[in-house]
Amino acid sequence: MGKLFERKVTGSGRLGEWIRSGIVGLLLFSVVASSIAGAGTALFCTMIVAWALFPLLVGTRDALDTGCVFMLVSLGVVVVVGLARHGTGALLP
For 57-84, the pLDDT digits (tens) are 888 898 899 999 999 999 999 989 988 9
Confidence check: pLDDT of 5 > 60: no
Percent of the chain with pLDDT over 90: 46
Task: Supply the pLDDT for residue 32.
Answer: 94
Average pLDDT over residues 34-58: 92
Mean pLDDT score of the chain:
84
If you write DSSP's letter for every residue of the chain in order, what string do you get? -GGGS-----HHHHHHHHHHHHHHHHHHHHHHHHHHHT-HHHHHHHHHHHHHHHHHHH-TTTHHHHHHHHHHHHHHHHHHHHHHHH-GGGT--
Q: Model's pTM, two decimal places?
A: 0.75
